[in-house]
Amino acid sequence: MSVLIEIDEIRSYLSAPGQPFELVERTIDGVPLKIYKNLPKNLSHMIVEARDYGDRTFLVSGQRRLSYGETLGRAAALANRLRDAYGAGLGMRIAIAMRNSPEWVIAFLAIQLTGATASLVNSRGTADEIVHALHDTECALLIADRRRADGAATGFQAPIIVADETGDFREPDGGAVDLSPAPVLPTAAEPGDAAVIMFTSGTTGRPKGAVLNHRGVATFLFGMRHNGTAYLTSAAKQMGLEPQALTAAAPQMASLAIFPLFHVSGVSAMLMGALINGGKIVMMDRWDPAEALALIARERITMFQGPPSIFWDVMNCPEFAGADINSVTNVGIGGQATPPNLLEKLLKHFPKAAPGGGFGQTETNGAIASGTGAEYLANPRAAGRILPGTDVRIVDDHGNELPFGEVGEIWVRSPLNMAGYWNQPEANAAVFSGGWLKTGDIGYLDRDRFVTIVDRKKDVIIRGGENIYCAELERAFQEFPGVLEVAAFGVADERWGERPVLAVVPQSGFTLSADEMLAFGRTKLAGYKIPSEIVFTETPFVRSAIGKIDKAALRRGYTPAG
């Protein structure tokens, strides 16, 4: 029996009537959906359940270590203050703007325990961008660290609570909130109520606030459990063990916080994913590969996930040769497809870790497809397999569904889908069609339910009427020896309309030749896809908060040869 068939059979069993991940058909707002029957009413119920982890370590930041009991007790106390002093509750939006820290986590959990909506502001933005986000989502209150609070103060007139370096929350009058542990109690929020607003990357125009309801976030978390249980059951079967025995022998799940918490990969996958499993989150003040290796060894990190650049950084770090990475059981690539040469290196240097990847976007709670271990390796060029309860179709430019293997835009129908963009009726009308969300991603499906991403719909170069997908060029040239990272983009051309340019960052110690790279490319790609020019830079590419290369910045900085 193939591994795909085995995992599918396990997943189906786990989602059958009477099983923990039972899926049922429901029509919500006129849209037929597959819903987990045992889904909690809202996120506060999941937070309440985490009380059982008590003295287990939850958050690590420098010398600070907070248990589940300490974190939840403080969050409940802050929630009480937010309700009593500021009227926090259903329908109110409270913003968080701060770097990754224990206080970020406490603030987020507190907001969920009031029933209010957490508006997660990009803490790496300018003061103007932060203020715009606060006004755009009509926030009644901001919780921020000192730097962001000072930046927002002149443009945001509502109350600001400051999380200071001592771990206190300071109110507008300077007084500290009493964080004496309080009971952790659920709220009355409904599944369709807004839990979180997260901002899109905003590569064109201002970022839009994607509204994610409790049903969507909880579905993502249940889906993580569903997949995790399926993988565990499959592994136990291969070892001749009961799944419970494997679970009992497993160490505490521990994640290194690479992604910012304001991003869906941070707050949902990392923070809430750890919370529902009793996991540990280890934070860093700033990215440093040597420090990351030290933390992996000291904190026994099991989950090491991030964009491709962090893995290259770690494996090229002088300290890597003697590093203790034996605790790592999962390496996951986020932000873009896994370059084949990177996967080869990961399999060699992290032999005890199951590789994994996925496909999603903020608008789908970060999840549409995923794969881990043997399932992922069955088709590593794909983004993963469509998740249980998620319907996907591939359509042409007229909205007609295409057969397996044909390339088109990916549309999704799922309880994971956002409720819509905040106060953006025109954008919502453009992105939704009869309950289907148009992802803007181009790809294809195969009969095993693997989805392969070809490119972003807006990141296609049209050269003389022929479509050239940037991602295809990047995959091909990433395999050239000595390449650290590549990015393809289109520039205007009088004759062809557009032509492709390839930007390349060499690995340290390598000098690359454009002629040799172009010759290599001709063995991989059709002639019309070959870049008209290759530009080299020793400077790392400008990236978004989640590690995606900023193509707009590359185009702005491009100067034609000659």
Is the distance from CB of 141 to CB of 185 less than 8 angstroms? no
CA-wise closest residue to 122 among 136, 111, 112: 136
Residue 279 has pLDDT above 80, yes or no: yes
Q: Which domain holds residue 141?
A: 68-213
Which pLDDT belongs to residue 438?
97
Q: Is residue 252 in some structural domain? A: no
Give the global pTM. 0.86
The pLDDT tens digits of the residues spanning 253-278 come to 999 999 899 999 999 999 999 999 99
Measure the CA–CA gap between 415 and 341, rounded to whole angstroms.
35
Q: Which of 196, 213, 230 is the last residue of a domain?
A: 213
Which pLDDT belongs to residue 509?
87
Three-class DSSP category at 26: strand
Beta-carbon contacts of residue 526 (< 8 Å; ≥ 6 apart): none
Of the pLDDT bands very low, low, confident and very high (cuts 50, 70, 90), residue 528 is: confident
291: exposed, middle or buried (Cβ count in 10 Å: 0-12, 13-18, 19+) = middle
Task: List the structure tokens of 358.
Answer: 């996925």
Residue 93 has pLDDT above 80, yes or no: yes
Q: What is the mean pLDDT of residues 516-523?
A: 94
Residue 303 has pLDDT above 50, yes or no: yes
The mean pLDDT value of the chain amounts to 92
User: How many C-beta neighbours within 10 Å does residue 36 have?
Assistant: 23
Q: Is residue 291 in some structural domain? A: no
Q: What is the mean pLDDT of residues 238-256?
A: 91
Q: What is the mean pLDDT of residues 135-159?
A: 96
Least confident of 4-8, 186-190, 202-206, 326-330: 202-206
Q: Which of 178, 213, 248 is the last residue of a domain?
A: 213
Three-class DSSP category at 538: coil
- pLDDT > 70: percent of the chain: 97
Which pLDDT belongs to residue 381?
87
Beta-carbon contacts of residue 559 (< 8 Å; ≥ 6 apart): none
Residue 58 has pLDDT above 50, yes or no: yes
Q: Is residue 307 in some structural domain? A: no
Task: List the structure tokens of 96.
Answer: 């968080």
456: exposed, middle or buried (Cβ count in 10 Å: 0-12, 13-18, 19+) = middle
The pLDDT tens digits of the residues spanning 454-470 come to 877 777 787 876 778 78
Q: Which CATH number do you get for residue 537?
A: 3.30.300.30
The pLDDT tens digits of the residues spanning 384-399 come to 999 999 999 999 989 9
Residue type, 288: D
Measure the CA–CA gap between 505 and 550, rounded to whole angstroms.
14
On the CB side of 59, CA atoms within 13 Å amount to 19
C-alpha gyration radius of the chain: 23
Q: Is residue 519 in some structural domain? A: yes
Three-class DSSP category at 481: coil
How far is residue 423 from each of residues 22, 208, 221, 241, 463, measured CA to CA in Å? 35, 9, 27, 52, 37
Q: Is residue 308 in some structural domain? A: no
Measure the CA–CA gap between 60 and 66, rounded to whole angstroms.
7
| Residue carrying structure tokens 């203050």 | 81
Which pLDDT belongs to residue 545?
59
Residue 494 has pLDDT above 80, yes or no: no
Measure the CA–CA gap between 534 and 530, rounded to whole angstroms.
10
Q: Is residue 331 in some structural domain? A: no
The pLDDT tens digits of the residues spanning 479-488 come to 899 999 899 9
Which pLDDT belongs to residue 204?
46
| Residue carrying structure tokens 């490119």 | 455
Angle, helices 68-86/102-114, rounded to nearest 10 degrees:
50
Measure the CA–CA gap between 299 and 286, rounded to whole angstroms.
17
Q: What is the mean pLDDT of residues 230-243?
A: 90
Q: Which CATH number do you get for residue 101?
A: 3.40.50.980
Q: What is the mean pLDDT of residues 419-443?
A: 95
Which pLDDT belongs to residue 151?
95
Is the distance from CB of 97 to CB of 121 less than 8 angstroms? yes
On the CB side of 150, CA atoms within 13 Å amount to 3
Beta-carbon contacts of residue 305 (< 8 Å; ≥ 6 apart): 255, 258, 259, 265, 269, 270, 330, 331, 332, 333, 334, 356
Measure the CA–CA gap between 304 and 257, rounded to whole angstroms.
9
Q: What is the mean pLDDT of residues 159-166?
A: 94
Which pLDDT belongs to residue 469?
78
The pLDDT tens digits of the residues spanning 96-107 come to 999 999 999 999
Q: How far apart are the first and last CA of the chain?
A: 59
Q: Is residue 17 in some structural domain? A: no
Measure the CA–CA gap between 89 and 85, rounded to whole angstroms.
11
The pLDDT tens digits of the residues spanning 333-350 come to 865 567 778 889 999 999
Q: Which of 160, 186, 213 is the last residue of a domain?
A: 213
- Top-confidence residue, 300 or 3: 300
Of the pLDDT bands very low, low, confident and very high (cuts 50, 70, 90), residue 548 is: confident
Which pLDDT belongs to residue 462?
78
Which pLDDT belongs to residue 203?
45
Is the distance from CB of 535 to CB of 488 less than 8 angstroms? no
Residue 546 has pLDDT above 60, yes or no: no
Residue 200 has pLDDT above 90, yes or no: no
CA-wise closest residue to 123 among 285, 288, 262, 256: 262
Measure the CA–CA gap between 529 and 150, rounded to whole angstroms.
49
Measure the CA–CA gap between 500 and 489, rounded to whole angstroms.
6
Q: What is the mean pLDDT of residues 193-216?
A: 85
Measure the CA–CA gap between 403 and 407, rounded to whole angstroms.
9
Q: Is residue 141 in some structural domain? A: yes
Of the pLDDT bands very low, low, confident and very high (cuts 50, 70, 90), residue 475 is: confident
Angle, helices 3-14/214-239, rounded to nearest 10 degrees:
130
Q: How many domains does the chain have?
A: 2
CA-wise closest residue to 115 among 142, 91, 143: 91
Which pLDDT belongs to residue 205?
59
